[in-house]
Amino acid sequence: MPSKRNKAVTNALASLRNDILGGRFQPGERLTELALCDDLGISRTPLRQAFEQLISEGLLTRNESGGCLVSSFSIDDIIDAIEIRGVLEGTAVRLAAERGIDESQKFKVDQTLSQIDGILSKDDFVLGDYVVLNSELHLQLNNLCRSQVLSNEIDRVNRLPAASPDAFLIEQLKLPNFGDSVKLAQGQHKEIWNAVLSREGARAEWLAREHARLARKNLEFVLNTKPSLAKKIPGLELVTHKGA
């Protein structure tokens, strides 16, 4: 059972992460320990531990005086994060193809793919149902190679603004040809899976990297066509400039 202090750190971390990505704090804003301790009902020690974790995730930076500021990101940073996710997910499925998988892993992925097919077979499918299964599928594929190091790094990059597989799966965005786009993504899921089953590591890796780039296309659509909806995407309000 986790100690009270560990629970306080976990709760503070989740709350602060959601507040930062949700736009409660502005990029460059200094977080005040005393106010946050009162707000979260915790002491400074667990708060500072939560700060350290958020610094490691890239959501906070430390200034010269030792205080913590909310990070700002460029569009190029977001694109890089999406690209890095693709590289990491690609490495995960390549290793899975090379190392082989067991029957229980195969059963779970086959089942999730079948459930997604069932959802997408309906003309008026519920997006929330797809989001849950899409997240589960990505987690399953990422864990096939049984590398905790890779899993940790993928989890870390997914916490960056707009970098996760589900960042743009938001109904209000009204992405162009959204239904076709989701079905294309499912087709890519199956191609990646077939490459893993066929022990074609290089192909699985390439397909996973291409799959991640769908998020970049969606990012460009939102920024160029519907910038007012950027606040709907967790963390995108932290983008303050284009980049180099």
Q: Where in the chain is the domain with CATH 1.20.120.530?
A: 74-241
Q: What is the third-level CATH fold of 74-241?
A: Four Helix Bundle (Hemerythrin (Met), subunit A) (1.20.120)
Radius of gyration of the chain (CA): 19
Tokens 């002491």: give the residue: 43
The pLDDT of residue 225: 77
The pLDDT of residue 1: 43
Which pLDDT tens digit goes with each residue over 137-172? 999 999 999 999 999 999 999 999 889 998 877 755
Total-model pTM: 0.85
| Contact (CB, 8 A) for 64 and 163 | no
Find out if CATH 1.10.10.10 is the number for domain 4-71.
Answer: yes
29 secondary structure, DSSP code: P
Q: Where in the chain is the domain with CATH 1.10.10.10?
A: 4-71
226-236 in b/e form (b: 16+ CB < 10 A) is eeeebeebbbb
The C-alpha atoms of residue 78 and residue 242 are separated, in whole angstroms, by: 10
pLDDT under 50 in the chain at which residues? 1-2
Class of residue 81 by CB neighbours under 10 A (exposed 0-12, middle 13-18, buried 19+) = buried
